Amino acid sequence: MESIVYIFIALIAVFLLKPILPARGVRQITAAQLKNELRIKGKQFIDVRTAGEYKSRSIRQFKNIPLHELAENTSLLSKEEEVIVICASGMRSNKASKLLRKLGYKRITNVKGGMNAWRG
C-alpha cells in the first residue's frame, strides 16, 4: 500500500512540474547570451507575448506571434533556420518551444528569464 502512495505522489509531481521543465531538445540561453545571437544571420526571432506586451517593450529583431496564435502561424517560420523564442519570463516561450518541437522544428532556442531579464 505504501508503494502505491509513493507512485501517486510521483505522478502528481510529474504532472505539476512538466509544464515548467525545459523542453527536451531545446537549447536554453540567458538574456545576456541573446545579445550575441542577435548578431548572427539566418535565425528567426519570435516573441510569443500578447500584442499589447510586445507594443509596450520589444526587441527589434523579434516578430510578434502570440502563443495562442502560434500553431496557426507556423507557415511564417522556416524549419530550416533556428527559431529563438522569447516571452515575458520564459514560461510561454518554453510552451512555444515544446509546440514547435511537436510540429517538427529541430533547432529551437528558448530565452530563459525572457524580457524580464533583458537589459538591452
More confident of the two residues 20 and 40: 40
Contact status, residue 117 vs residue 30, Cβ threshold 8 Å: yes
Residues with Cβ within 8 Å of 81's Cβ and at least 6 positions away in sequence, in order, are 42, 43, 44, 107
Please write down the long-range contacts of 50-53, taking CB distance under 8 Å and 24 or more positions apart. Answer: 53/88, 53/115
The yes-or-no answer on residue 87 being catalytic is: yes
Q: What is the DSSP letter of 22?
A: P
More confident of the two residues 11 and 81: 81
pLDDT for residue 65: 98
Which of the residue ranges 4-8, 13-17, 41-45, 75-79 would you say has the lowest mean pLDDT? 13-17
Annotated active-site residue in 70, 87, 99, 115: 87
pLDDT for residue 9: 72
pLDDT in tens, 73-117: 999 999 999 999 999 999 999 999 999 999 999 999 999 999 999
Could you tell me the pTM of the whole model? Answer: 0.82
The end-to-end CA distance of the chain, in Å, is 55
pLDDT in tens, 22-68: 667 899 999 999 999 999 999 999 999 999 999 999 999 999 999 99
* Cβ-based neighbour number of residue 107 at 10 Å: 16
Strand partners, 82: 43
Strand partners, 64: 47
Q: What is the DSSP letter of 96?
A: H
More confident of the two residues 66 and 16: 66
